[in-house]
Amino acid sequence: MSEARYEVLLTEGAEQDLEELYDYIAEFDCEANASRVLDQLLELAQSLALFPERGAYPKELIALGIRDYRQTSFKPYRVIYRVQRLKVYIHLIVDGRRDLQSLLSRRLLGVQ
pLDDT tens, per residue, the chain with 112 residues: 456 699 999 999 999 999 999 999 999 999 999 999 999 999 999 999 999 999 999 998 898 898 999 999 999 999 999 999 999 999 999 988 887 777 777 777 776 5
Residues 6+ apart with CB under 8 A from 54: 72
Strands 87-95 and 77-84: antiparallel
Residues 6+ apart with CB under 8 A from 12: none
- Cα gap 45→3, rounded to integer Å: 18
